Amino acid sequence: MRLILRILTAVVLTFIVAAVVLAFLPGQKLAALVGQQIEKQTGREVHFGGDVRFSVWPVLGLQADDVALANADWAGPEPFLTAGRLTIGVDAADLIRGHIRVTELTAIVPHLNLETREDGTGNWVFQPAAPADAELGGGAEPGAEAEPATSASFAIEAVALNGGSLRYAPFGQPATEMKQVDLSLLWPDPTGTATLDMTLRPAGKPVRLVGEVGSFMQFLSGEVVSVGMSVTAGGGKARLDGRADLSGAFEGRVTGASEDTAAVMAALGGGTMALPRGLGQSVQFAADTTYTPDGRVALRDLSLSLDHNSFQGAADLDTGAVPLRVTANLTAGVLDLTALDAASDRSGSGAAGSGATGWSTEPIDASALGLFDGQIGLDVQGVKTSSLSIGPSKLSLAVERARAVLSFLPVEAFGGVVNGELVANNRNGLSVAGKLSFAEVQMQEALSQLAGYGKLNGEALGTLEFLGAGASLDQIMRSLSGKGTVKIGKGFFTGFDLQAIMNPDGGNGGTTIFDGLSASYSMAAGSLTNEDFLATLPSLRAEGSGRVGLGAQDLDYTFTPTAFATAEAAGISVPVRISGSWFDPKIRPDLSKLIEPELEAAEEKARQAVRDKLSEELGVPVETEEDLNEALKRRVEEEARKQLLKFLGGN
């Protein structure tokens, strides 16, 4: 009991002595001494604009109103830090010994004004003032009377900013403002580690940073020291371990994970972002990271998982560029992007037709083309969407001002190889284009995945150039223009049988088998036109011409198979017309094209017989209608002359 009483007595006496010392030291004088020490360490002037008063509880020290810490000389006249109230804590034991050691700074309703200059240096990088010839109170002449408590040491053990606001203006970029910023910095050992706990709310939701800065005194003087930091935002977590300096430069390992990327982006002020599955609804990330104050990030030994899709490689980012600039080389396994083309599902209410027909009329959001500029190389084992699958491929993506060019270097697709490039341009409305060459492509697989038409089978080579524009898939398909060629070896059509049409006792059970096929085509306004289709079949030869509606998903095409053709005989031809919808075409012989030539020949034969008879009767050759009229006129004149002479009694 006596021990407890002695301790309490000591504590009380300590406060009494501290209060007596403070009573003999004017508040403005103490504030000036503290301000001088802060200026000595930071190179920035401190201004006390309001009342300064003593405080015993809960902190022994001063409370000052309307305090401002000057900005860097290059950063303009606005103060670096302002606070409605600043509490300055001092160490009681040192105060009793005649020294003033600042142990705590607590700012109420502070405002931080942060900015960077062109070289990336921030105005939070302090330059200590040049040392004076003598310490305060130590430069007096010998014999001069010393003032009480004129020596102060600057060892802040705790800094707290409560309910603050922050303005951050990177050089050349719009300023960002945040409110409700809280900061707690604990630095109990002046030569040791400082711990940081900071909460930001860039979009209202808390983003918390908790970490340690080793050798904090060296860190404040601009040296590179070890750091460790954990960041939590919207359910996502990240960890940084490495080395950093006060300018913001960092080198080390960064890891992170998020189960809800949209929530993380919203917490960071990135707005609402509906990512399809496969592109990062959940994310796992790890990389050796180097960051420079001008906003450049180098990522090496990169491992990135976007949902079930994983990438490895290296990347460089320039976060100071607008938009973000990215250069990367990545490898991946089979990428599952089945959620990407959900909008292309033709079974929805946005379809142009009914049932399973018609292209989607849902608007295409191509804003992602403007998120970044740069060059990305991608080596993948395959890509799978709900409507398309390709095999091992080397791809190169170049994006500049919302225009993306995807180059195939090459791509294994549809059982063959595709070279060329695809372009998507959203600078002034969405347009798509392509220039491709392909070989050994299975046409049934290609046409089924690309156009929903699976009746042509065979291995093909050819070229394709196209251009389309529109705000939906339906508009793009109805606007397509371009040209191309295709050659196919042995193959077959399903759905009709040319051999059966030519020979009812033969045929292939509803399938047309051919030995070879070739065609060239042009496209305009969403329609493909072909005039030189040629297919060779056993004992048959088929030619074709007509139109295929790529936008309307219809066709009007005529095949003309010719059988029993020899060098001496033209053979027998029976045209077949295919018309209507892709999904329910009407296939029938085109008798008009079969009968019309015969009718025209018979008509011409009858006319010739009439002309021959008239020539015989009139006694003059008759080849044309004009010849007939002239001959009849002469015959009438001659007959009239004869009858007139006979009437007059002449010969």
Residue 514, token pair as written in the block:
């051919």
What would the mean pLDDT of 115-123 be, rounded to a whole number? 83
Q: Cite the beta strand spans of 170-224 per DSSP E.
A: 176-186, 194-200, 207-213
Examine residue 553 and state whether it is found in any structural domain, yes or no: yes
Q: Are residues 561 and 617 in the same domain?
A: no
DSSP 114-149: EEB-TTS-BTT---PPPPPSS-TTTSSPTTPPPPTT
Q: Are residues 554 and 639 in the same domain?
A: no
Examine residue 47 and state whether it is found in any structural domain, yes or no: yes
Q: Are residues 510 and 630 in the same domain?
A: no
pLDDT digits (tens, 9 = 90+) for 33-50: 777 777 877 788 888 888
Q: Are residues 513 and 619 in the same domain?
A: no
Number of domains in the chain: 3
Q: Are residues 542 and 632 in the same domain?
A: no
Examine residue 22 and state whether it is found in any structural domain, yes or no: yes
pLDDT digits (tens, 9 = 90+) for 124-176: 877 766 555 434 344 444 444 444 433 444 567 888 888 888 888 888 778 88
Q: Are residues 47 and 158 in the same domain?
A: yes
Letter string b/e over residues 134-153, b meaning 16 or more CB atoms within 10 A of that residue's CB: eebeeeeeeeeeeeebbbbe
Instruction: Determine which helix (DSSP H) or strand (DSSP E) holds 418, and give its type and residue range.
Output: strand 416-425
Lowest mean pLDDT among 248-252, 287-291, 360-364, 565-569: 565-569
Q: Are residues 52 and 110 in the same domain?
A: yes
Examine residue 228 and state whether it is found in any structural domain, yes or no: no
Q: Are residues 504 and 632 in the same domain?
A: no
Q: Are residues 522 and 637 in the same domain?
A: no
Q: Are residues 52 and 115 in the same domain?
A: yes
Q: What is the three-class DSSP state of 182?
A: strand
In this model, does residue 351 exceed pLDDT 90?
no
Confidence of residue 5 (pLDDT cuts 50, 70, 90): very low
Examine residue 476 and state whether it is found in any structural domain, yes or no: no
> What value does the mean pLDDT of the chain take?
79
In this model, does residue 367 exceed pLDDT 70?
yes
- What's the one-letter identity of residue 649? G
**pLDDT score for 150:** 39
Handedness of CA 626, 628, 629, 634 (dihedral sign): positive
Are 220 and 126 a contacting pair, CB within 8 Å? yes
Interatomic CA distance for residues 428 and 402, integer angstroms: 9
Q: Give the domain extent around 53.
A: 2-125+150-183
pLDDT digits (tens, 9 = 90+) for 175-229: 888 888 899 999 888 788 999 999 988 888 899 999 999 988 888 778 899 999 9
Examine residue 234 and state whether it is found in any structural domain, yes or no: no
- What's the one-letter identity of residue 114? L
Examine residue 327 and state whether it is found in any structural domain, yes or no: no
Q: Which of 365, 477, 462 is nearest to 418 (CA)?
A: 462
Interatomic CA distance for residues 297 and 328, integer angstroms: 12
Are 452 and 344 a contacting pair, CB within 8 Å? no
Residue 301, token pair as written in the block:
């030994």
Q: Are residues 614 and 559 in the same domain?
A: no
